Amino acid sequence: MNIIKFENVTKIYELDNVILQDISFEIQEGEFVSIVGKSGAGKTTLIRLILGLEKPTSGNIFFNEINIGQMQSSHLSQMRRRIGGIYQDYKLLSAKTVYENVAYIMEIEGKANEEIVRDVPKVLEAIGLSQKINNFPHELSGGEQQRLAVARALVNYPDVIIADEPTGNLDPYNTFEVIALLEKINKTGKTVILSTHDREIINKLGKRVITIEDGKIIRDEVKGRFII
Ligand SMILES: Nc1ncnc2c1ncn2[C@@H]1O[C@H](COP(=O)(O)OP(=O)(O)O)[C@@H](O)[C@H]1O
Ligand SMILES: [Mg+2]
């Protein structure tokens, strides 16, 4: 079953600024898909469309075969809870510890305290941050901060992980660690969508690549390479 489907999606910002033009693709449950394009190509816009944070100018977007454009706002927020987001700037809570950063995500979901106490250490263990449980974000390296962001994205058991240039601020070593983590998450059956303009990541992954240029999908390959 496809989990995300774009059907002839066009996105035009004001002043006739055409960002995406007649884009169609499907992502199947459990796939690992990279979205590739130069800076300004529309990768973040495409992700915001998936999350329903932007509306397409024309065309339709489906999540689990339901048209996002026709979802009530309660259904839309329910859908967003099925998606874990990871971003270039980590989006951590600087006044909270590593433990609290993850626990907070569960608290706002209304999770029971015993569930929080059980799951937070588990997810921190899985991403290799058990030793830093009481540290604050500014006491972590960039790679550790992004791994914490991954833990936050994972803790509510989403179906899809969307990572928008998650390695944009990382050195090659930490980049490798974060990408390896995304691959591991994908192996557990979750769909992973990764936007990047890092050639090396793409060529190493050997997974499906959708390349966007001038608002169009110029390539969609099962074992893609970085060509632009
Ligand atoms: N809210 C907005 N209003 C107008 N233009 C926007 C808006 N958001 C993004 N853009 C423009 O859309 C283009 C694509 O941006 P973006 O999706 O962020 O690209 P990428 O993530 O690939 O770097 C850019 O030219 C950007 O200036
Ligand atoms: Mg972007």
Nearest residue to 210 via CA among 224, 189, 200: 224
Q: Relative to the alpha carbon of 88, which ligand is closest?
A: 2
Q: How far is the CA of 176 from the centre of ligand 1 (A)?
A: 27
Residue 41 in contact with ligand 1 by CB distance below 6 A: yes
Ligand 2 centroid distance, CA of 176 (Å): 20
Q: Phi then psi for 197, rounded to 5 degrees?
A: -120, 25
Ligand 1 pocket, residue 44 CB under 6 Å: yes
DSSP line for 101-117: HHHHHHHHTT--HHHHH
Per-residue pLDDT reduced to its tens digit, 151-183: 999 998 999 999 999 999 999 999 999 999 999
- The per-residue pLDDT for 1 is 87
Could you give the percent of the chain with pLDDT greater than 90? 91
Q: What share of the chain in percent tops pLDDT 70?
A: 100
Q: In this predicted structure, what is the pLDDT of residue 41?
A: 95
Q: Whose CA is nearest to atom 9 of ligand 1?
A: 45
Pocket test for ligand 1, best of 14, 16, 19, 197 (most atoms within 8 A of CB): 19
Rg (CA), the chain: 18
pLDDT digits (tens, 9 = 90+) for 92-136: 999 999 999 999 999 999 999 999 999 999 999 999 999 999 999
Q: What is the pLDDT of residue 46?
A: 97
Whole-number Cα distances in Å, 15 to 12, 19, 98, 213: 8, 11, 43, 20
Strand arrangement of the beta sheet that strand 17-28 belongs to: 17-28, 2-13, 58-63, 66-67
Residue 223 has pLDDT above 90, yes or no: no
pLDDT value of position 152:
96
214 in ligand 1 pocket by Cβ < 6 Å? Answer: no
Q: Would you state the torsion angle of the CA atoms of residues 172, 177, 180, 186, taken in this order, to the nearest 10 degrees?
A: -120
Round the average pLDDT of the chain to a whole number and report it. Answer: 94
Q: Which residues contact 37 (CB under 8 A, 6 or more apart)?
A: 43, 197, 211, 212, 213, 228
Q: Tens digit of pLDDT for each residue in 55-67? A: 999 999 999 999 9
Q: What is the pLDDT of residue 224?
A: 73
Q: How many other C-beta atoms can be found within 10 angstroms of the C-beta atom of residue 7?
A: 15
The rounded Å distance from CA 43 to ligand 2 centre is: 5
What's the pLDDT at 156?
A: 87
Which residue among 11, 12, 13 is best mutated to probe the pocket of ligand 1, counting the most ligand atoms within 8 A of its Cβ? 13
Q: What is the per-residue pLDDT for 167?
A: 95
Q: Could you list which residues have their CB under 5 Å from ion ligand 2?
A: 43-44
Determine the pLDDT at residue 228. 64
Residue nearest atom 24 of ligand 1, based on CA coordinates: 40
Atom of ligand 1 nearest to the CA of 14: 4
